[in-house]
Structure 1
Amino acid sequence: MKPEEYNPKAREAFGKSLIDVGVGIFKGIMLLFTIAPMTFLLKGALDGTGKNASFADIWNFMRSPSYFVFLVLLVVAFVFGHYFRKEGLRHIHEIENRTNN
């Protein structure tokens, strides 16, 4: 069954779930760039080995192909997150337009 054939409540719920998926993807990306580096820095600072920890050390452990794969996956995640949010908003907007007409 296509989402366009759902009744209004089911289609609204479907749109909200798509928005939730898109927002979840964006939240995951933000956590990746905020929490993960901070945990690496805190681990290095509180490790007790006397070794310096920096953002350069975090990014220098990957080789060029790994950077490429990381960036491709990051772009794909942004595209999927944007697509899911846009489609969810479209479904909800169409439901609102039908009820107003």
Structure 2
Amino acid sequence: MNTVIYDKIFGCIPNDFIRSRTTLRQAAAKQKEKLGHTTIDMGMAINEIPVQFNGFSDLSVASIRGLLVCLPLLFLQEEDLRPVFNESEYYASAQVFH
């Protein structure tokens, strides 16, 4: 539930729903539009946003219990993240990164 609450209120990036760079750009633009530049710049978020998830309603920051959230294992899954020729990592052996 913590993961859902954080995602719905704060629009966390990375998450499992963002699997390509296009989706990442769209999610970032949507989140910036939702909160506005003043709240993002000041590092503040809205405390009480009603969230509904699987029959649970009125979830808010106060509903967060503990510190655990799910690790986003599918983030940018559809992208080839190997370095390209104009990046310095391209010229290093692949064994350096393993």
TM-score with structure 2 setting the length: 0.29
Name the larger-Rg structure: 1
Looking at both structures, which has the greater relative contact order when contacts are Cα pairs under 8 Å and sequence separation is at least 6?
Answer: 1
Flag the structure with higher strand content: 2
TM-score w.r.t. structure 1 length?
A: 0.28
Q: Which has the higher helix share?
A: 1
